[in-house]
Chains A and B, each alone.
Chain A
């Protein structure tokens, strides 16, 4: 598979701190990619480098098979996390201004914008001043000017924050539709539920380093593939004792209906079958399912482990 974007050994230093330290990652063509990491990890700096806003101190960025040049910015659509509009300018005029900066002609921009405005049912805003709009309204405009020029690569930094669920969903559908039309999408977000739902691949950046990268399902399997969840009725004291004897750990949680939910982590030495036998012999099994860790758990665990092994105070 072709990579639309390859970040190769990129470092960026500022006075007193390093924003990125030898970070590499590859974004496959046509994927939905998650760029994750705690605040201040260096995500925004990386996105700015991809957008040719700042230059890396070391390393380089390949875009669509060649070294990233300024002209490539026209093929990228970036919606920054912190974003605003010119307050005194009229909505339509302003949208045309941004579209022209992306290289569209005035006419082309106007036609295309009217289509989008119609789709979002906001055509009557065209001649309003931005200061008359609510925050959510302004964000719709910002979204439109980001995707208007049909970029090959779309980068969204916390796109759903500030939207109500209905509009957030509308936005998500639009992004997925752009993706179906061939655009590669990078999400930078803290919203792990949306990462699980949307992303094929992720990179987790922590403290200026890429500490976890790969396919979402593979990562979840790799980190949590040996966990199994049971819902059982009856007393679990005996089961707990037996598991301890086998050297297995278990967490349990009482459910409202009196049943117990067990999470059993199995080592390589013990087979799945023997665990099921064991549970079956000591309690009434109501349900068994593989317990994949959520991206949220993986995020927290990975960052914590990394920080403790590198002696970093959060």
Chain B
């Protein structure tokens, strides 16, 4: 890289990194993402709703005694006329059971003062159904059937391990790989689109306010273009690196603080492969998720690949964006030509959602070799564990294509930046590339 390109890179980089908006999004995004990822786990441990006081008007006399108090509600049997329940505001709601509830289980009515809760309703239905079933069994004189049923019930939950050469004990689950793959794909899509368009708009701006005319008096147009691409690319890498540092720090230090000691112990046990799912306090999927988020090594590995595909994808796409930006006078004119860039991006992104369900299909393999879709498709597949040679081949194709695309883009760029007025056709762009 020549000295002049370095000066351009420096300017492009500093101009963006010093912006307040960059600093704010860079700090806030990972915090937001971790919160979103951990929210379900946190909610498992935190009880956010107060238990309600429910009065039970039980005309059958069977149900009220069997209702168990939960975190959501306390049940109290009351003997009042239904009409008077409006005035009894020591209760948050009333449950009315009909006399023939055993024969007609539909005869349950719940009145609540504030908005009903889905959780309360479903736990209440389960509870009542259980009581009715038991009562029916008792009437048939088959009360012991319940014990038999309880003793044969089986809860299956799978612990899966990947057969890899190295760390055979690292537990995986398809659900986690699916989630991580999709997050990576979204992240790449976002980065490529956002930073690619940043290159385009900044070129259009330079062209419009004619600062470009002054810059090219001392720098070759190609150097200016490369300087801009590299400068903006470094901003993207900086942002990703800062996110990685923030997320790794959070996942290594802050997150374990939220776990109770027994969950922490279960995660350790899970990572050693010695966890007995039957005794764990939360579901095996929850443990898997927490173990992945709390494992900096795994996250670092994924981020490493993300960096390689991000840089390759960015170079490829931003070169195309640069060619488009140079050839038009305003962003509106750019939007039509932009579809050449956006369509493959969107295809890659949408297909990656299907690919995540079946990462080893031949469609997946092919699309992860085509440079325009490979960054997103590959990052979706990598969390599932795919052969290293595939990843390397895909990267090589991506970087080689970048060289070709940049060559073409530079040819268009050096002509396009001086063209004002009519929006060019694709045919014209190709003609420009042929100029000496």
Contacts and interface: CB of A to CB of B under 8 A. Distances in A.
Interface of A: 14-15, 48, 51-57, 70, 73-74, 76-80, 82-89, 97-98, 100-102, 142, 145-146
> What 3 pairs across the A-B complex have the smallest Cβ distances?
A84-B210, A84-B209, A84-B211
B211 A83 contact: yes
B113 interface: no
A146 B215 CA distance: 10
Interface stretch (B115-123, B218-226, B316-324): B218-226
Contact of B214 (A76, A85, A87, A88): A85
B428 A15 contact: yes
Given A54-B414, A83-B211, A85-B209, 13 more contacts: A15-B428, A51-B216, A52-B220, A53-B217, A53-B414, A78-B217, A79-B217, A80-B217, A85-B214, A88-B15, A89-B11, A97-B7, A101-B219
Interface string B44-58: 000000000000000
Contact of A51 (B217, B418, B428): B217
Highest count of chain A CB atoms <10 Å: which of B11, B210, B217, B435: B217
B99 interface: no
Contacts of B213: 80, 82-84
A27 B216 CA distance: 23
A85 B414 contact: no
A51 B220 CA distance: 10
Highest count of chain A CB atoms <10 Å: which of B11, B214, B220, B436: B214
B210 A82 contact: yes
Highest count of chain A CB atoms <10 Å: which of B11, B216, B218: B218
A77 B214 CA distance: 10
Interface in B196-237: 209-221
Given A15-B431, A55-B436, A101 B209 contact: no
Contacts of B214: 80, 83-85, 98, 142, 145
A92 to B, nearest CB: 14
A52 B223 CA distance: 13
B138 interface: no
Contact of B211 (A70, A77, A86, A101): A86
Given A15-B431, A83-B213, A101-B7, A57 B436 contact: yes
Contacts of A97: 7, 11
Contact of A53 (B8, B209, B210, B216): B216
B218 A87 contact: no
B223 to A, nearest CB: 10
A57 B434 CA distance: 12
Contacts of A102: 218
Contacts of B7: 97, 100-101
Contacts, number: 65
Contacts of B220: 52-53, 70
B146 interface: no
B211 A85 contact: yes
B68 interface: no
14 contacts: A15-B428, A15-B431, A53-B216, A54-B414, A74-B218, A77-B217, A80-B217, A82-B213, A83-B214, A84-B211, A86-B15, A97-B7, A101-B218, A101-B219
A114 to B, nearest CB: 20
A146 B214 CA distance: 9
A199 B418 CA distance: 28
A229 to B, nearest CB: 43
Contacts of A78: 217
B162 interface: no
Given A83-B211, A85-B211, A86-B211, A73 B431 contact: no
Given A70-B220, A83-B210, A101 B215 contact: yes
Highest count of chain A CB atoms <10 Å: which of B11, B211, B219, B431: B211
Contacts of A52: 220
Contacts of B212: 84
Contacts of A48: 418
Nearest to B434: A15
Contacts of A146: 217
B4 interface: yes
A60 to B, nearest CB: 13
A77 B428 CA distance: 32
A51 B213 CA distance: 11
Interface string B1-36: 000100110010001000000000000000000000
Interface string B253-280: 0000000000000000000000000000
Contacts of A83: 210-211, 213-214
A179 to B, nearest CB: 19
A219 to B, nearest CB: 30
Nearest to B432: A15
B15 A98 contact: no
Contacts of A77: 217
Contacts of A85: 209, 211, 214
B219 to A, nearest CB: 6
B200 to A, nearest CB: 17
Contacts of A101: 4, 7-8, 215, 218-219
A45 to B, nearest CB: 9
A82 to B, nearest CB: 4
Interface in B123-138: none
A84 B218 CA distance: 14
Contacts of B418: 48
A276 B358 CA distance: 104
A84 B431 CA distance: 28
Contacts of B218: 73-74, 98, 101-102
Nearest to A89: B15
Nearest to A51: B217
Contacts of A55: 436
Nearest to A130: B211
Contacts of A142: 214
